[in-house]
Amino acid sequence: MPRSVNAVASRARRKKILKATKGYFGRGKNVWTVAKNKYEKGLQYAYRDRKAKKREFRALWIQRINAGAREHGISYSQFMGMLKKADIELNRKVLADLAMNHPEAFKAVVERVK
């Protein structure tokens, strides 16, 4: 009896990967072995960068809060320390948004903690 290989499933699996690599550079989009490697590497980068994105945003928020606080004559670390003492529980995301888009509200927070 001849060996049975499921060509339909194999082709579907390859088509799925080649569809996902559409737009990649060079052979990465149309040569199966290269595309498969690039696809798997892309998934690794995606996993890694989902974690890195959180760090990058936190750093961005800290920079924005620092810039806003320095306009009112205090540093970031002093401002965060005063917030803690005043028992104001605003997270960095909200504070950064206030500093960027609502400077009058951020000024009110700064005046409250001083």
Residue 1 in domain: no
Please tell me what DSSP assigns to residue 76: H
Q: What are phi and psi of 87, to 5 degrees?
A: 60, 40
User: What is the CATH classification number for the domain harbouring 62?
Assistant: 1.10.1900.20
Query: Percent of the chain scored above 90 by pLDDT?
Result: 95
66-98 per-position pLDDT tens digit: 999 999 999 999 999 999 999 999 999 999 999
Q: For residues 20 and 39, is the Cβ–Cβ distance under 8 A?
A: yes
- The number of distinct structural domains making up the chain is 1
29 and 35 in contact (C-beta within 8 Å)? yes
pTM score > 0.85 for this model? no
**Straight-line distance from the first to the last Cα atom of the chain, in angstroms, rounded to the nearest whole number:** 86
Residue 52 domain boundaries: 7-112
Domain presence at residue 50: yes
